[in-house]
Chain A
Amino acid sequence: MPIGDRRRHTDDSDEHGGADRKRRRGPEVNEIEHRLENLIVRVGEKSTSSLESNLEGLAQVLETDLETYKSKILAILKTCVLDAPEKLTIYSTLVGLLNAKNHNFGGEFVEMLMKQLRDELIAQNYDNALHVIVFMCDLVNCRVVSAHSCMSFLEGLIEVAFQEDIPQVRSDWFVYAVLYALPWVGAELTEKKGNDLKEMLDAITRFLEQRQKLHVQMLRVWSGDKPHVQEEYLDCLAAQVTKLRTENWQEKHIARHYVAFDAVLCDALQHNLPSFVPAGHQETSVYPLPTVIFRLFDYTDCPENGPVLPGAHSIERFLVEEELNWIVRRHYIDRKECAAALLNYSRKLRVPLNYVILEVVFGQLFRLPSPPCPPLFYGSLLIELCKLQPNSMPQVLAQAAELLYQRVETMQPACVDRLVDWFSYHLSNFQYRWSWADWEDCLKCDELAPKQVFAREVLVKCMRSPYHQRVQEILPADYAPLIPEKPQVHFKYSGEEGEKLLGASVAHQVAQAIRNKCTNEEALELLKNCPNPDEMSGFNPLAIDVFVSVLLHLGSKSFSHSFAALTRYHQALKTLTEGNEDAQMVVLRALYDLWKNHQQMMTVLVDKLLKMQIVECNCVVSWIFSDEMKPQFLRQWTWEVMQSALVKLSRHVQRLRAELEAADNEDTKEDTKEDTKEDSEMKADDDDEQTVESKSADAVKEKTQKLRSAEEFQRNLLLSVFHKFTILLTEHLLTSEAEGRDFNSYWYKWVTGRFKQIFLSQSDEVWKLCSELETSLFTNDIDSHILEIFHQFRALRR
């Protein structure tokens, strides 16, 4: 673009921004409110004067405006409590100072916070509720809230944990919230209400002892306990708090700014928290899932001359991780800001920062059932971290990668997938430089050994980004057996061998016709000449095989060419395969014959066939479990295909559900254009049927019917997936027993891992099926090893 043009366009966008600014600029009141917001939100950021003097100054400014702008100030502080938990003690000190100046304001603030807590719990925003509870507790230190009312408040929360007939996850959350708040307020409560606190902690211990922990195995990144135990989150926090208690609640982490204002605060009048009863449990309530604490490093991994990594059971480790987790969650939409915020972490001199950051980032990436942010975000964040600290971060990251490789042996397959995806992506951003020679031990092990599987899948993924030859060049010669085959098309109806195949002559005719841009009908007509090796089947598998092979071979130049070919002959394909699972299987087999060396092509084309409804999800599932796919059964791409088929189906069901809801709720407005573009091909048929009069009862009825049948389809599919897994695993267990072999082989590890992965990735749908699965499939007749996986899954929500 010529320079002149670029300038003109920057001007354009400036004008646009100018208009925006003008619109936002309201009357003068807004101006002041805006200034207040700015002052409050930014306190604690880098500044030339000390935080204490900034806080004092701000409290003074706010005091003068307190009466006029009270509601605005309350609202701003509320947002700060919810959105900036890492600045909690700054804001609690500020509230303390305001309370000392104006007792009524303190009262209103506490009241507002209580109301907020109630609302967040009803809305099931548990993270927000947690921030509010901790804030409320820290207000005891700032002399805003009385210690005894805080004690009864916490007792009220623990009360909930001991309610009867509620799921364990509900009890868990309330216990977690109380334990979470204790590092802040424990010392103060011990001093003022020591006995009550002791009784409460004893009750918590009793609760933890009788807790069932079947779910832990489902959520662990590694099945082994070496070198680090991945503890259940409540157990871990309880141990950390107990240790803190034995150390007289003396922690070295929380920045207690209020200490500097002791003289001002000690005279302030305190408020009593009103009694608080959380909303009761409903059938529809959904609670946070339990988690398992991710541990990658201990102090021996970190350099000797730096700060020491706090131990696994020290409260400092917990507090640092929580703050870094907040930073990631708060900035996840801007990777650059996120990386900068992590590296500027306020406590960076007290911990080996790069190590704790990486542990937190990988902890999120590997979290089961799913990471809190898109996996791609973590990859780009790690690149950004390396860019910002090119002299230190890449080494630590390489150390982490090495540890992850060494520990891949007991890693859950779902996490191995994420590791492969991340590592290959990371390499693609750093010229594929890696000291592969360090990992040569993987070449000597079994081909199903996790180390070798990991290395092979990484190379497959790497090959998708640059060229086949490039991958060969970056690798030491020893790695030759692991290098994926060249991704070429294999057209069986060509060459000397191909000419002899049944159907070869028709294949040539069809190819010629397609080159001449024949119509769908003409193609179908030609295919009638195809001999049928299986007259009894009611359809001609050879004709389908010939057509699909020829079509995709002609389109083999690129994805776009293949898509264009499929779209052009969509109608013919549909005619050949509609409603016939066997016919659809022939399509998938033909595709596989053609592209078995090009996994990416396989993944993309199966996806396309699903979207075009040439094959259906259940057919893809049967194909993956079929005998001819056995050699590929444990490869990552197969599970990519399976997952994407299941995800597509569940999105389809969700969309129908949303449509029905909209039609039910909205009798006044017709809102058929709400659909996202997604899956638009999949529902191409639906669109025609959508009448303008969607408010009519008929439309609702029709939608209900459509939803029911989609749900039924999905239910059957999931049941059949679990059934197929059960058969496969049972056979394995039986033969192992008969032959006196250890059943716990690599194969078994991978298959059970994939089994778990389906449970976890489809959890929302599977939970609805739980009782049915229990009565029809996972009965006591089934081998206990298989049954246990189901029970582990069910325990997640109990």
Chain B
Amino acid sequence: MSYKDQKAAAAAAASAYRDQRFRGSLTDQEEALLQSTTLYIGNLSFYTTEEQVHELFGRAGDVKRIIMGIDRFRKTPCGFCFVEYYSRDDAVDAVRYINGTRLDDRIIRTDWDAGFIEGRQYGRGKHGGQ
């Protein structure tokens, strides 16, 4: 593996974040994460809209869909979302260049996600994050 490939693999590798309710073994999850085109975005402002997320993440590539995280009871945005791309490369670029920059004046974080499943749009913690 050349220097560049190693670096690429490191950038694309999953971080410590894992979906706690993933159905399947840890290995399945790792595998899914390494092929995923979906990102979990955290630390959004409650007022950030889908349009704003689209504008920022569209800069990395063609966005397939955005799922805004909402409060299970109040049905209002609660600070996270999922962004799904058509291609893995675009998602990798988003992790490389958007993670840790600002959206709506807040430093947002991106993590690989094994793919959206219905029901996951609902926040779990007190403050809505997953």
Contact = CB atoms under 8 A, between A and B. Distances in A.
A559 B93 contact: no
B16 A465 contact: no
A425 B58 CA distance: 12
Contacts, number: 98
B109 interface: no
Interface in B61-96: 62, 64-68, 86-88, 93, 96
Contact of B102 (A6, A429, A560): A429
A678 B65 CA distance: 12
Contacts of A6: 16
Nearest to A676: B87
Contacts of B66: 559-560
Nearest to B20: A5
* B interface residue count range (under 10 / 10 to 19 / 20 to 34 / 35 or more): 35 or more
Given A83-B2, A559-B66, A464 B55 contact: yes
B125 to A, nearest CB: 7
B35 to A, nearest CB: 10
Interface in A311-367: 330, 333-335
Contacts of B86: 676-680
B109 to A, nearest CB: 13
B18 A383 contact: no
A460 to B, nearest CB: 11
Given A334-B7, A379-B97, A677-B87, A559 B104 contact: no
Nearest to B99: A380
Given A431-B105, A560-B66, A334 B96 contact: yes
Contacts of A16: 30
B54 A83 contact: no
Given A9-B18, A425-B59, A600-B55, A333 B3 contact: no
A607 B86 CA distance: 13
Contacts of B56: 428, 465
Contacts of A600: 51, 54-55
B31 interface: no
Which of A12, A374, A376, A560 gathers the greatest number of chain B CB atoms within 10 Å? A376
- Say what secondary structure dominates the interface of chain A: helix
A10 B14 CA distance: 12
Interface string A12-35: 110010000000000000000000
Given A83-B2, A678-B87, A558 B97 contact: no
Nearest to A559: B50
Contacts of B3: 79, 83
B34 interface: no
B11 interface: yes
Contacts of A604: 54
- Say what secondary structure dominates the interface of chain B: mixed
A336 to B, nearest CB: 8
A600 B104 CA distance: 17
Given A16-B30, A79-B3, A678-B87, A10 B96 contact: no
A563 interface: yes
A7 to B, nearest CB: 10
B4 interface: yes
B37 interface: yes
Interface in B1-45: 2-4, 7-8, 11, 16-18, 20, 26, 30, 37
B37 A677 contact: yes
A333 B7 contact: yes
Contacts of B11: 333-334
A261 interface: no
Interface in B89-130: 93, 96-98, 101-105, 125, 129
B96 A377 contact: yes
B55 A563 contact: no
Contacts of B104: 465-466
A123 interface: no
Contacts of B18: 9, 12
Contact of B97 (A335, A466, A563): A335
A377 B2 CA distance: 22
Which of B20, B54, B60 gathers the greatest number of chain A CB atoms within 10 Å? B54
B55 A335 contact: no
B25 to A, nearest CB: 12
A563 to B, nearest CB: 7
Contacts of A379: 59, 97
A431 B18 CA distance: 32
A237 B126 CA distance: 63
A650 to B, nearest CB: 14
B65 A560 contact: yes
A120 interface: no
Given A559-B50, A677-B37, A678-B62, 11 more contacts: A334-B11, A335-B96, A374-B93, A461-B55, A464-B55, A465-B104, A559-B66, A560-B50, A563-B65, A677-B87, A678-B87
Interface of A: 1, 5-6, 9-10, 12-13, 16, 79, 83, 330, 333-335, 374-377, 379-380, 383, 421, 425, 428-429, 431, 461, 464-466, 558-560, 563, 600-601, 604, 607, 676-680
18 contacts: A9-B18, A12-B18, A12-B26, A13-B16, A79-B2, A83-B4, A330-B4, A335-B96, A429-B102, A431-B105, A558-B50, A559-B51, A560-B50, A560-B66, A560-B68, A563-B65, A607-B62, A680-B86
